[in-house]
Amino acid sequence: MVAFDLDSFEAVTQQLMAAESEREICEIAMSGISSVFELPLGALWLYDSDASELQLAASTERADEVFDWPVTYRPGNSLSWEAFEQDEVRTYSELDDEQRQYNENSPVSSEIILPLAEYGVINIGSLAPVTFDGETLRLARMYATHVQAALQKAEREHDLRVQRDRMEQFIGVVSHDLRNPLHVVEGRLELVRETGDLSHLEDAEEGVARMEALIDDLLTLAKKGYAVEDRTAISLDTIVEQTWEMARTADATLRVEGSAPVFGDQNRLKPVFENLFRNAADHAGDDVTVWVGPILDDGTTEIDTADERTEGRVTGFYVADDGPGIPSDELDSLLSVDSFSGSDTGLGLSIVTQIIDAHGWDISVTESRAGGARFEVTDGTKPVSPFHSW
């Protein structure tokens, strides 16, 4: 029978709820195993959704001495994964040969496996056979519940910090972007009052148009949720041509180099193309040439004509231009949210990045064949989920 200490349990649960980070929670949870349950072995694994595996996050000192860490759990390779996948507490007072099928050389004789919902699992064990009675099992369940609650609390606080930081960044961008065209409008209106020359109203009108575009961008960010749910097969050339005129590209030239179906949310994807087209015109001039086409998995990245048939599997699309390009030292940071505060890119590329992320796709920028910018959107390697960087 396993002995346990309720005073230690209460102390650990108080520490858990006061913890502020995931790492701190995991370490507290493991440091309390030996004092609460008087068992030597304990380990906590967290689920990594990108890799679809449970990764070791913390363990007791005795577990570190006994096991060759780190151990990673994946589908079909452990009892711990089964407990996590089925969200079911497992108890083994003495592991038999069948239960040792995943690791026949394991020194563990008895263990409790406690799932933490979507967060992971806790294993508590012993090198010698022990009996887990009902009181021990109830306490273990409560222990796991407190750890899970602490992780949920830390996640909520993390998400709030992310939202606050993003809001502060966007407020900085908005104040910067609105102030410039507003100054233009004020200056031109003052000239009209002083000189009576109405031609200055044209510049004022451009300033108003820029502010309208910024407001549209803000509304796009505000009214759309993060996840993309309604996906349909969209013809690449069709959505490109539909959004070209709306992008206010003046005398720019569009060349569609082939077409392919894009499986996404049409209403969400239109701002992607609009903002990429505007970005090209803003940085390359009104007479910029823009190329759009599919990317194939056979190594072909561009197609010479819209009539040419594609033979490889389409893995994405590109939008390229013949502008001055992007300095090499800015390529990596251009699509980072942090780069938008105070920059001259405004919210356009931020919106592009967020919509691409919401589809579970990847976006990168490199040099086009004409020396300009080339944005590539490809099948993503990450799951579609809200912002969550642990």
- Residue 386 pLDDT class (50, 70, 90 cuts): very low
Question: Same CATH fold, 225-390 and 6-158?
Answer: no
Max avg pLDDT among 54-68, 176-190, 266-280: 54-68
d(CA 25, CA 16): 6
- Residue 147: band (very low, low, confident or very high) from pLDDT cuts 50, 70, 90: very high
pLDDT above 90 (res 340): no
User: How is residue 310 written in tokens?
Assistant: 């594609």
- Max mean pLDDT among 134-143, 176-185, 196-205, 343-352 falls in 134-143
Task: Report which of residues 319 and 162 the model is more confident about.
Answer: 319
Q: Which two tokens stand for residue 275?
A: 């903002």
Average pLDDT over residues 173-191: 79
Range 368-383 average pLDDT: 80
Compute the distance between CA of residue 381 and CA of residue 344 in angstroms, rounded to an integer: 30
The CATH code belonging to domain 225-390 is 3.30.565.10
In this prediction, residues 157-165 reach a mean pLDDT of 81
Residue written as token pair 């507490």: 89
Name, in order, each residue with C-beta under 8 angstroms of 271's C-beta and a sequence gap of 6 or more: 220, 351, 352, 355
- Look at residue 273 and tell me whether its pLDDT is greater than 50: yes
Any idea which of 12-21, 46-55, 208-217, 267-276 has the lowest mean pLDDT?
A: 208-217
Cβ–Cβ < 8 Å for 341, 172: yes
Model confidence at 227: pLDDT above 60: no
How does pLDDT run across 305-337, given as a tens digit for each residue?
444 444 567 889 999 999 888 777 666 556 654
* Domain spans in the chain, listed from the N-terminal domain onward: 6-158, 225-390
Q: What is 6-158's CATH number?
A: 3.30.450.40
Q: How confident is the model at residue 143 (pLDDT cuts 50, 70, 90)?
A: very high
Beta bridge partners of 314: 296
Picking from 122-126, 274-278, 336-340, which range would have the lowest pLDDT averaged per residue?
Answer: 336-340
At residue 122, the pLDDT reads: 96
pLDDT of residue 103: 59
pLDDT of residue 306: 41
d(CA 341, CA 51): 32
Task: Decide: helix, strand or coil at residue 71.
Answer: coil
Q: What is the pLDDT of residue 341?
A: 40
Q: What is the pLDDT of residue 124?
A: 94
pLDDT above 90 covers what percent of the chain?
A: 33
Which range (78-87, 268-277, 307-316) has the least confidence? 307-316
Question: What tens digit of pLDDT does each residue of 283-307 get?
Answer: 788 789 999 999 987 655 444 444 4
Peptide bond into 70 cis (omega under 30): yes
For residue 105, what pLDDT band results from cuts at 50, 70 and 90? low
Return the pLDDT at 307.
Answer: 42
Give per-residue pLDDT as tens, 9-45: 999 999 999 998 999 999 999 999 988 998 899 999 9
d(CA 38, CA 258): 67
- The Cβ of residue 381 has, within 10 Å, a number of other Cβ atoms equal to 9
164-168: average pLDDT: 73
* More confident site: 202 or 176: 202
Q: Answer whether 0.75 is exceeded by the pTM.
A: no
Give the pLDDT mean for 135-146: 93
